[in-house]
Chain A
């Protein structure tokens, strides 16, 4: 709801109708309106209306770049409102310095099992453990997360509670955003900035309403329908893996990217998945429903195009409990049943919950009401724009498995593997990732660790360094299940070795011998050389699985520094921490 302060210069009637009118607008419309109104005002009047609203720090903790992009937007909006706003990455600030900032907005995402983003781990640990007096701090937190994870928005929740515990004053409620965060974020930002603005201060508006340049602008809000030029299976016959290489055309999109960036793909749900959900709900799919985005629509079409109809979460189950009144489901959602809920959710999807708790089916509206918006999926880009002008490539592992008697499939990976045929248009946009960048210094050596599809950005890195003629040496560790079938891009690596674009290649294939061999073992086998590279200023990159691999590689790195640097464990950890701080140790893990 939109609410004017009491002192707003309107009659009660004017106020009510304006409030109701504005409540029906979205953030973009309001932004346009504010710019429009500012432009209508006489020059002097507009200028005099701008009152400094004070200093504001927008603090973000980011993994994929979303929080960073939102922080930039917050700064921009805040400046329009007269704040002297600056943005800070959690990786570059000590929690103690928050005592002096006054106004603070925090935008932070949560990863994996409730973890802070990679770059924010240090900040988070210190904040949570040290006693810092933050009286005088006025703040609000926007938490980004994914409701399909048990510890949804945990990092944001923790920071919000901690700032209050340390004496900070929460001026606007924390907002927990799901993967489709646009609207929630805009709403939070408006409320938070209003709350932070000094009482009596007019909302400052810079007369710079954004007008889209000439043609259509493609991006997150308007993904580019990119023709899929090529789709190649990277695993040989005989493999148990299914990794595909995809080449998208960017011509006419205006999209650009750098090695290290991610590409977002907007999938649709597979027909059999839609059919299964409809069957569980005992619906046909020809029912009409009202959708937020595209108005009235056939249920089957909405299930296919608009909704996340698979990821099971407390939020979905809560809505299902409301719709069905199921006692069994309510019991599962009880506060003391968290472990049971976790167990239930493991390996299950929404279709299972509908079958289990709505055995007589659901109405079309009740079914549609369960879902969140179908989120785009991010993939590390596998190409250099210099090596493949007008194209962007991905390396995607199709996820398929069996659980609880049903065959399951990753929504986007199987969309790309099964549904997106070469020649078809796939909606995409670029998601920049400034935390995964080649060294600015072309002469710096680079070590890359990327097993499985983690090798994707390193294909981009090696291509890019070859194209720019970077003199620094490049060393790649990669691996997969089987040498004969799963050596992703083998012929390309051979060419890069031949040309010198790749200096060294070490591979670990886990299922070629009785014992499992992984990349970290290969690192340890080459530990002396690896340490020598680090000492020569090498940048160390890791991409791929976050749960096991990244931790194992991290541990291997510390032990290598310990062994060859003649350091204690603590000193080795500090050495590695320094690598991180100086951006010589970067990770893109998922």
Chain B
């Protein structure tokens, strides 16, 4: 015992959970409280749901003799981000009937519901499954939703790539019957019967695991920020296979320099037939070598960083029984979405809509939820969720297009992307009031902050110049703030760390520019930089690159130097 470090608490919870059952079923039956036991809260993540409480209401609940306003977030897996109109309508219905009347399109191409109370949790998950979607492994220490480039106008390759994404997703889905028993009234397995979780085993992975597939030149899925990514290598319209990237990740903790975001290393190439096998073996390497003693050091990026990408490649080749090929050349141009209409070779149309903060809801001036519902009712193609919280109404037949255009006009959605390029390249996580981790506002505040920044943008004639800007309420990085050109990360209510210098295509980490800045002072800090960028930039120079050249921040080469070379004035107390 003496030398061995103690495993983190979650490892014991997983071990004694009987393959993720815990006491979830019993907890759901207790209606005196809207919450679940601490252990079950951890296990529920594997089933795709987080317990939360409305933090806006926390202060007064006890005065009303009421418990905290507990509710659940449910994350719906949408492999590749593709949903049928029927699935859209059902998602809309459930959001209206059981959730808070909104659908959140996440930064990982999932639907999220917020505000589901405990008495509706089982029913909602059951109904999600009835629509041929699910929630298992949407969260938890397993492989999550597999992301995939959704641009349908790359049709031949896209169809193939989507299939690969679904193949990986299926292969890595946990096999436990617990999900079916608890949520779908599935039959209980005899306790004597040993359950097999062939890939994960009893304790699953040390931490969450994220996989993406990108089709260059678009890096919309942000392959550098994920545990494992596949980069499609296409030659003359033909899919040859994929480069393999490992060890990216965003999460870190304020004040803890042992935690840092990291850019993925591209370590080799595999054929399309090998992808599922490679994915499995990378997962196994992390299962066997990931750190299970410290959850702040258990993501795959630390395994890669601690042992080196070469070691990972060697171990992977050993697990595979064959070797990955050499990395093939490719180029990423950006990590954003292309808004507006695109027509493909078959004559079908695709419309990418800008969805502010990924939040689909009705307001008096903008009935987005209703408009999309009316479109879904007649749409004969599908809906595609992008990694940038946006929505593509895809594969619209020539016959339907006029009708859909009419509805877009009627509900004021037509001009969703008539916004500044800054806003169109923005992302925000959910944060307050539901996320228990957030230290400051994000989704509810970024739109207003952007309005302030747009004044500087307009003054300098940069309305059409894309700058990626991302805000999260905490440093766990759901909106991938550390690879954007401008990143705001919540420190405390109304205060943010500002990061600059990220790569426009998501290929470079940013660096802390100022710490703990009040929201009211952000514009004053950034306006001069924006002004200089407008005047002094080189031809085609991106804002992130300019910030480094102009000396606002030093370039961050890899996770290890994320906390290094920070200018002293970054810590000037505001």
Q: Which residues of A contact B (CB under 8 A)?
A: 232-238, 245, 483-485, 487-494, 497, 505-507, 509, 512-514
Contact = CB atoms under 8 A, between A and B. Distances in A.
* Dominant secondary structure at the A interface: mixed
Interface in B7-63: 31-34, 54, 57, 60-63
Contact of B97 (A485, A494, A514): A514
A93 B85 CA distance: 69
A490 B67 contact: yes
Nearest to B118: A483
Query: Which of under 10, 10 to 19, 20 to 34, or 35 or more describes the interface residues of B?
Result: 20 to 34
Contact of A236 (B64, B117, B123): B64
By Cβ-Cβ distance, the 5 closest A-B pairs, closest first, are A236-B64, A507-B31, A490-B66, A236-B66, A491-B65
A493 B32 contact: yes
Output the residue of B31, B57, B62 with the most chain A CB within 10 A: B31
A234 B61 CA distance: 9
B117 A483 contact: yes
Nearest to B124: A513
B445 interface: no
B173 interface: no
Given A484-B117, A509-B119, A494 B31 contact: no
B98 interface: yes
Interface in B443-495: none
B413 interface: no
Nearest to A235: B64
A490 B31 CA distance: 10
B65 A484 contact: no
Contact of B67 (A494, A505, A506, A512): A494
A513 B123 contact: yes
Nearest to A514: B97
Interface of B: 31-34, 54, 57, 60-67, 69-71, 97-98, 117-120, 123
Contacts of A483: 31, 34, 117-119
A284 B195 CA distance: 84
B62 A484 contact: no
Contact of A233 (B57, B64, B120): B64
B119 A512 contact: yes
Contact of B65 (A237, A245, A505): A245
Contacts of A489: 65
A492 B31 contact: no
B383 to A, nearest CB: 24
21 contacts: A232-B63, A233-B63, A235-B64, A236-B66, A237-B57, A237-B60, A483-B31, A483-B117, A484-B34, A484-B71, A485-B66, A485-B69, A490-B32, A490-B65, A490-B66, A492-B65, A497-B32, A506-B31, A507-B32, A509-B119, A513-B119
Contacts of B119: 483, 509, 512-513
A505 B31 contact: yes
B62 to A, nearest CB: 7
B155 to A, nearest CB: 39
B63 A491 contact: no
B31 A236 contact: no
Contacts of A514: 97
Contacts of B62: 491
Contacts of A235: 64
B98 A232 contact: no
A489 B71 CA distance: 19
A88 B64 CA distance: 44
A509 B97 CA distance: 14
A297 B119 CA distance: 57
B117 A512 contact: yes
Nearest to A243: B64
A488 to B, nearest CB: 8
Contacts of B31: 483, 505-507
